[in-house]
Structure formats: structure tokens, C-alpha cells
């Protein structure tokens, strides 16, 4: 097996936290789908900003304010190129994927989706791409339609197509499932939705950190992702939206920076993207996200995707060879997520015992309870990989699973 896409030891050395000992053992961090770790370059960028650049933006003519404004807007341009968006004004900084989806629900959904209209979601969605649409449906009297999946965790495309009718007004779809790792055939699904005049939001939280994303090639109308899953900090996320849609949307929140003028009678809203960035934004976090994108680009998203696929293939082979372990989510096209259950052991016990060996995985419903319901499990154990993980770490995971089985035998 070829693991030499890039120098993994050099990459690991960029992440100080990977040198940590947990429970007296070297940390094996396999919870990257929840939050990935931060390289020194991003930590340094945060320190530099806080020590020599910090100020509020868009508000003053002094040196620091102009510098911080420049760096914040430069981060927006980095995100634009990262997503291959047409224009930087199509990039809106949010607190994360959740806020980005809520922004679309409020700004687009409340204006353009009404009573009896239908919104299509998939059975693979994270709660962040279910609950806002449910709230909208309750408010407006709209209806949610759900694309079912097969036992591998792949969406049933015939059933997807059959859901469309003249009432269909929106498709909100995850690019990659956080619970199972399924990579959805989003480009084809977007093209189908567009043939019916239906705009599409992609939840890219689990895709953007793991593969190149080109929103123009996908032709999605909205794309959302989070900084903390992409080697950046928490508190920052991105909403990409096509300019022509963002322009006709209502603001999400009211306050400073999103206005051109205010009187007690009337407010005129700012142009995009400011119209959607009310109040002082997470300036430091946006700049750090820009640094994270620079770092990922220095490795190359295509290299990351190829390397993580090798990790996933290796892990899938090793874990599926274990008696009494069931992998949940066996789609033909998967990102680096391995959800599993060990016969007779609650996933929380699996997580706790692995933690005793310094191995970090996530256990629970992964904020995707409908996925758990589909597979008739209350929860799973989930190992999720990043480009700084190694085959040796997967061996440790497998040793840990064997140890759990011995303890419960």
C-alpha cells in the first residue's frame, strides 16, 4: 500500500497537540469529524493577530482597524478561491455550518417558501440541516420530504427523483454524511433539482476539509462549512451563496455593518456580503481560517483526499475482519468516517475504554438521530480520520477494539 503521498511525519510535526499524552499514552486522535486539530501555522497566525493586528473592522480609519479589515477581507478571498467561487462577495462569514444553514432558512426560506410547498432533505442529514427546515415548515405550513437510503447508507436516487413535483421549492442535502461517511452524488442531484427549477443547499461540513470543492462546477446555490473541522478555530464558518440569490434574500440578523442607513422610520440594508454579517464578526477566527486554508493548500486537497482514502480502506479492512464488529455505513463512495458497533457493548463503553489507551473517538448519535433510527441502533462508535493520522494509529484502534471485546467476553 502506498502511503507516501506526502511526508506524514513532517505533517504530524506541524500539529503540537498530536504530541500529547492522554491517560499516559500517546494521543491517537480519531475524532476529526467533530473537530480537527490546528497546525502551528494557524496558532501562530492567531498570536500574530492578537499581538499586533487586533482591532474592529470596517469602522475606523486608524492603522489597526485598516490592517484588521484588510486581513479579514483577504481571508474572504482565500475562502472564495478555496471553494472556487466566482466572487468574494458570495462568501459570508458565519459562526459555523449550523448558522450558515439557519441564515439560508431565514433569508431565503422565509421569503420564498410558503404553505403547501415542499422541501426535500435526505435521510443522512445532520440535525443542523433538518431542524431549521422543520422550524420553517411549522411556521409556513410547508412539508418536508425525505430521500431514503439503502442498507449501505447510499441515497436511493430513483426515489429522490420521484419526490419532485410542482410544489418542490428547495433541496437541502449533505455533501458527505458525518455519521456514515457516505459521499453523495451531489453534482447529478443538483443538476436534477435545477431541471425542476429547485435551488440547492449543500451542507459541506464533512466534505470541505477532505476533498477539493468547486461550487461553480457543482453549480450548488448555497454551500456551508465550519472552520473547526478544517484545521481552523471554532466560532467561524462559511456560507457560499450565488450572488443573485443572496441579493434577493432578506437579512438574517439586524444590527451594525449590515446597514447603509438607519432612521426610526426605515433601514436601508448594505450590499452583500455585509448585509448578512450583522455586528462585529469573528475577525480573529476568520483570519485564522484563512491561514488554515493556506496550510491545507500547501498539502493539497487532492493529496489529502487520496491519502485519507488509503487510511479508510486500511481501517475498513482491519475492522471488518474482526468478529462481532459491524461497520455501519458501507457506501461505495465514502469519506474518512468509520462508524461501527461491537456486539454486546454499548458504544459509550467502547469510547471510554479506548480513551484509557489515549484513543479519541466519538460515540453517540452524532447529531444524526434519523440515521441511527434507519439502522436500528441508539448510537455508534465513530472513528474519523484526517490527513495527519497514520496506519499505526489505526492498528492501535483495532488493538483497542480487541481489548474491549476481551473485557466484555
| Contacts (Cβ under 8 Å, ≥6 apart) of 237 | 93, 94, 95, 96, 97, 98, 99, 100, 224, 225, 226, 227
Integer CA distances (angstroms), 378 to 178, 305, 368, in order: 16, 30, 11
Q: How far is the CB of 93 from ligand C6P (least distance, A)?
A: 13
Read off the DSSP letter of residue 16.
G
Grid cell at residue 42:
494557524
DSSP three-state, residue 383: strand
Beta strands 359-360 and 28-29 are parallel
Establish if 210 lies at the interface with ligand C6P (CB under 6 A): no
Establish if 330 lies at the interface with ligand C6P (CB under 6 A): no
Q: Which stretch binds ligand C6P (CB under 6 A): 3-11, 121-129, 307-315, 394-402?
A: 121-129
Establish if 143 lies at the interface with ligand C6P (CB under 6 A): no
Q: How far is the CB of 269 from ligand C6P (least distance, A)?
A: 25
Count of residues making up the chain: 409
Read off the DSSP letter of residue 127.
G
Q: How far is the CB of 178 from ligand C6P (least distance, A)?
A: 3
CB-wise, 98 or 405, nearer to ligand C6P? 98
Among 226, 270, 274, 380, binds ligand C6P (CB under 6 A): 226
* Residue showing cell 444553514: 101
CB-wise, 201 or 319, nearer to ligand C6P? 201
280/64 Cα distance (integer angstroms): 15
351/367 Cα distance (integer angstroms): 17
Beta strands 25-26 and 325-328 are unpaired
Residue 220 is a catalytic residue: no
Grid cell at residue 112:
420564498
Among 96, 109, 153, 351, binds ligand C6P (CB under 6 A): 96
CB-wise, 94 or 270, nearer to ligand C6P? 94
CB-wise, 68 or 218, nearer to ligand C6P? 218
CB-wise, 80 or 122, nearer to ligand C6P? 122
Among 27, 34, 144, 163, binds ligand C6P (CB under 6 A): 34
Q: How far is the CB of 175 from ligand C6P (least distance, A)?
A: 8
CB-wise, 68 or 231, nearer to ligand C6P? 231
Q: How far is the CB of 104 from ligand C6P (least distance, A)?
A: 13
Establish if 36 lies at the interface with ligand C6P (CB under 6 A): no
Q: Which stretch binds ligand C6P (CB under 6 A): 94-102, 139-147, 280-288, 388-396?
A: 94-102
Establish if 178 lies at the interface with ligand C6P (CB under 6 A): yes
Integer CA distances (angstroms), 302 to 83, 171, 258, 274, 308, in order: 13, 27, 37, 32, 10
88/286 Cα distance (integer angstroms): 14
Do the Cβ atoms of 214 and 208 come closer than 8 Å?
no
Identify which of 315, 296, 388, 294 has the alpha carbon closest to the alpha carbon of residue 8: 388
Binding-site ranges for ligand C6P (CB under 6 A): 33-34, 96-98, 126, 128-129, 174, 178, 203, 205-206, 226, 237, 362, 366-367
Which residues are known catalytic residues?
367
Amino acid at each position: 500500500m502506498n502511503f507516501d503521498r506526502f511526508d506524514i511525519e513532517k505533517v504530524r510535526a506541524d500539529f503540537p497537540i498530536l504530541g500529547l499524552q492522554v491517560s499516559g499514552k500517546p494521543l491517537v486522535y480519531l475524532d476529526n469529524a467533530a473537530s480537527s486539530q490546528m497546525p502551528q501555522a494557524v496558532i501562530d497566525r492567531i498570536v500574530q493577530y492578537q499581538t499586533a493586528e487586533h482591532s474592529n473592522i470596517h469602522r475606523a480609519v486608524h492603522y489597526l482597524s485598516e490592517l484588521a479589515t484588510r486581513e479579514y477581507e483577504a481571508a474572504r478571498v482565500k475562502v472564495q478561491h478555496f471553494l472556487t467561487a466566482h466572487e468574494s462577495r458570495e462568501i459570508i462569514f458565519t459562526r459555523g455550518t449550523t448558522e450558515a444553514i439557519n441564515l439560508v432558512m431565514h433569508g431565503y426560506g422565509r421569503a420564498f417558501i410558503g404553505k403547501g410547498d415542499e422541501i426535500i432533505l435526505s435521510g443522512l442529514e445532520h440535525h443542523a440541516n433538518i431542524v431549521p427546515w422543520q422550524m420553517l415548515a411549522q411556521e409556513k405550513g410547508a412539508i418536508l420530504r425525505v430521500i431514503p437510503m439503502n442498507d449501505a447508507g447510499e441515497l436511493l436516487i430513483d426515489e429522490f427523483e420521484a419526490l419532485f413535483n410542482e410544489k418542490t421549492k428547495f433541496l437541502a442535502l449533505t455533501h458527505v454524511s458525518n455519521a456514515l461517511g457516505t459521499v453523495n452524488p451531489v453534482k447529478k442531484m443538483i443538476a436534477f433539482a435545477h431541471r425542476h427549477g429547485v435551488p440547492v443547499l449543500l451542507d459541506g461540513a464533512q466534505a470541505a476539509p477532505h476533498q477539493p470543492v468547486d461550487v461553480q462546477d457543482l453549480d450548488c446555490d448555497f454551500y456551508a462549512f465550519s472552520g473547526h473541522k478544517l484545521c481552523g478555530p471554532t466560532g467561524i464558518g462559511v456560507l457560499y451563496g450565488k450572488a443573485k440569490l443572496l441579493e434577493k434574500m432578506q437579512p438574517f440578523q439586524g444590527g451594525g455593518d449590515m446597514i447603509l442607513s438607519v432612521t426610526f422610520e426605515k433601514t436601508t440594508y448594505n450590499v452583500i456580503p455585509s448585509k448578512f454579517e450583522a455586528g462585529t464578526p469573528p475577525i480573529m477566527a476568520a483570519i485564522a481560517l484563512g491561514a488554515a486554508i493556506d496550510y491545507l493548500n500547501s498539502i493539497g486537497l487532492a493529496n489529502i483526499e487520496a491519502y485519507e482514502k488509503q487510511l479508510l480502506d486500511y481501517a475498513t479492512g482491519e475492522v471488518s475482519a474482526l468478529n462481532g464488529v459491524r461497520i455501519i455505513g458501507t457506501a461505495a463512495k465514502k469519506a474518512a468516517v468509520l462508524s461501527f458497533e461491537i456486539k454486546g457493548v454499548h458504544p459509550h463503553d467502547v469510547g471510554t475504554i479506548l480513551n484509557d489507551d489515549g484513543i479519541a473517538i466519538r460515540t453517540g448519535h452524532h447529531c444524526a438521530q434519523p440515521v441511527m433510527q434507519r439502522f436500528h441502533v441508539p448510537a455508534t462508535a465513530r472513528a474519523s480520520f484526517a490527513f495527519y493520522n497514520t496506519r499505526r494509529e489505526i492498528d492501535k484502534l483495532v488493538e483497542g477494539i480487541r481489548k474491549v471485546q476481551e473485557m466484555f467476553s
